[in-house]
């Protein structure tokens, strides 16, 4: 099968299209013929091996799994002996550690759900990691309740587009922060207020929020606290503001500051769970989650897709059509 492979850590130019063996599913696995793969910020972090401390988990000199990609949508090709939830021919989506930018991916059925019927494979591949991260940031770390106000800093990002839509579905009033070129797109998601950060500084307004979900970490922790209510909550998402070495300075400061202020300040990393992935699937089925795809690249241009996300210019999600 074809796969996008890296032999060592580096930039997208080092990625190669290579023929590799089709994986064989173990007892609890499904083998999926990939139709489309989503590209996330996590993919280029793993590609570059940054922050360097992450190599302790993924491989010191090179990734243990050389095949790139984590989100996918496709069709079940084979199942392991213990798999009862899926049959050959089922349309599915899911999130793997790596290995999705390939003709086939083999993955535990715990991280796979049915593809939402209203969505194309490209749209479904754009869902898992971004939507799971947004859901857990709002519901778990942010403890968002109906009727509360939330500001999403980075509302046009691959996580932000879902944070806006999920917050609205949860009954919140949503303010989205993005650049001027993305205002119309963020408004189209149902956002109550959109702030163009090139024209207006959201920390200098009189507005105060119950929750700030920070995806881009573009302002200091002190600045963010100014727009929070006295008992408000701040959630910094994933790899925001990570550096090359340890990359956790902002997250550590957030944890260290929280016990000494009236507000709750939390970093968060998304967890892959079947329950939450199914929740995302149901929201998409109901029309509450609609992926926004910036660009759809052919398989041979996977390196360009990752480079586009790495450059920080993507509006919503970037996908690769595989099949």
Q: Report how far apart, in Å, the C-alpha atoms of 24 and of each of 41, 68, 188, 258 are.
A: 28, 18, 43, 47
Q: Evaluate whether the domain defined by 2-127+291-321 bears CATH number 3.90.180.10.
A: yes
Which pTM value belongs to this model? 0.93
Token couple for 122:
């490209």
Backbone angles phi, psi at 30, to 5 degrees: -120, 145
Reply yes or no: is the peptide bond before residue 51 cis, omega within 30 of 0. Answer: yes
User: What is residue 79's predicted lDDT score, i.e. its pLDDT?
Assistant: 98
Q: For position 45, what pLDDT does the model report? A: 79
Task: Return the SS3 of 321.
Answer: strand
Beta bridge partners, 298, equal: 321
Whether residue 137 contacts residue 200, with contact meaning beta carbons closer than 8 Å, is answered with no
Strand duo 2-5 + 16-19: pairing: antiparallel
| Interatomic CA distance for residues 90 and 87, integer angstroms | 6
What is the reported pLDDT for 46? 79
What is the rounded CA–CA span in Å between residue 266 and residue 276?
A: 20
Task: Report the alpha-carbon distance of residue 162 to residue 189 in Å, rounded.
Answer: 9
- Residue 61: its pLDDT value, please? 77
Angstrom CA distances, 194 to 45, 172, 186, stand at: 29, 15, 7
- Residue 262 phi/psi, 5-degree rounding, is -75, -20
Residues β-bridged to residue 72: 37, 94
How is the chain split into domains, by residue range? Answer: 2-127+291-321, 129-268
| Ranges of the chain with pLDDT below 70 | 49, 51-57, 59-60, 239-249
The CA-based diameter of the chain, rounded to the nearest angstrom, is: 60
End-to-end CA distance of the chain: 11
Q: Strands 104-108 and 29-39: what pairing? A: antiparallel
Taking phi first (over 0 means left), then psi (-120 to 50 degrees means alpha), and beta for anything else, what does residue 96 get? beta
User: Thinking of the domain 129-268, which architecture would CATH place it in?
Assistant: 3-Layer(aba) Sandwich (3.40)
Q: Please name the helix (run of DSSP H) or strand (run of DSSP E) that holds residue 183, with its range, or none.
A: helix 183-188
Q: Are 101 and 320 in contact (CB under 8 A)?
A: yes
| Element housing 282 (H / E) | helix 274-285
| pLDDT value of position 213 | 98
Please state the separation of Cα 126 from the chain's center in Å.
9
Query: Cα separation of 74 and 114, whole Å?
Result: 10
Cβ atoms < 10 Å from Cβ of 152: 35
């Amino acid at each position: 099968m074809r796969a996008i492979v890296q032999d060592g850590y580096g930039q997208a130019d080092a990625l190669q299209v290579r023929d590799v063996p089709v994986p064989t599913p173990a007892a609890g696995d499904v083998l999926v013929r990939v139709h489309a793969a989503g590209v996330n910020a996590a993919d280029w972090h793993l590609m570059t091996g940054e922050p360097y401390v992450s190599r302790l988990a993924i491989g010191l000199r090179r990734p243990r799994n050389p095949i790139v990609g984590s989100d996918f949508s496709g069709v079940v090709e084979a199942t392991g002996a213990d798999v009862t939830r899926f049959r050959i021919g089922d349309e599915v989506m899911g999130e793997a550690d790596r290995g999705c930018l390939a003709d086939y991916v083999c993955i535990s059925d715990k991280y796979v759900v049915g593809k939402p019927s209203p969505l194309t494979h490209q749209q479904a591949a754009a869902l898992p990691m971004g939507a799971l991260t947004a859901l857990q940031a709002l519901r778990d770390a942010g403890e968002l309740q109906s009727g509360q106000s939330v500001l999403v800093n980075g509302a046009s990002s691959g996580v932000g587009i879902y944070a806006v839509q999920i917050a609205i579905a949860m009954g919140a009033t949503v303010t989205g922060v993005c650049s001027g070129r993305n205002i119309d797109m963020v408004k189209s998601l149902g956002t109550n207020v959109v702030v163009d950060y090139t024209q207006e500084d959201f920390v200098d307004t009189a507005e105060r929020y119950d929750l700030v979900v920070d995806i881009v970490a573009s302002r200091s922790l002190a600045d963010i606290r100014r727009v929070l209510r006295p008992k408000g909550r701040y959630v910094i998402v994933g790899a925001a503001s990570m550096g090359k070495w340890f990359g956790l300075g902002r997250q550590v400061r957030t944890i260290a500051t929280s016990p000494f202020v009236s507000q709750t300040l939390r970093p968060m990393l998304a967890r892959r769970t079947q329950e939450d992935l199914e929740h995302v699937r149901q929201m998409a089925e109901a029309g509450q989650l609609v992926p926004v795809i910036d660009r759809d690249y052919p398989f041979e241009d996977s390196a360009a897709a990752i480079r586009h996300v790495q450059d920080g210019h993507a509006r919503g999600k970037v996908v690769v059509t595989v099949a």
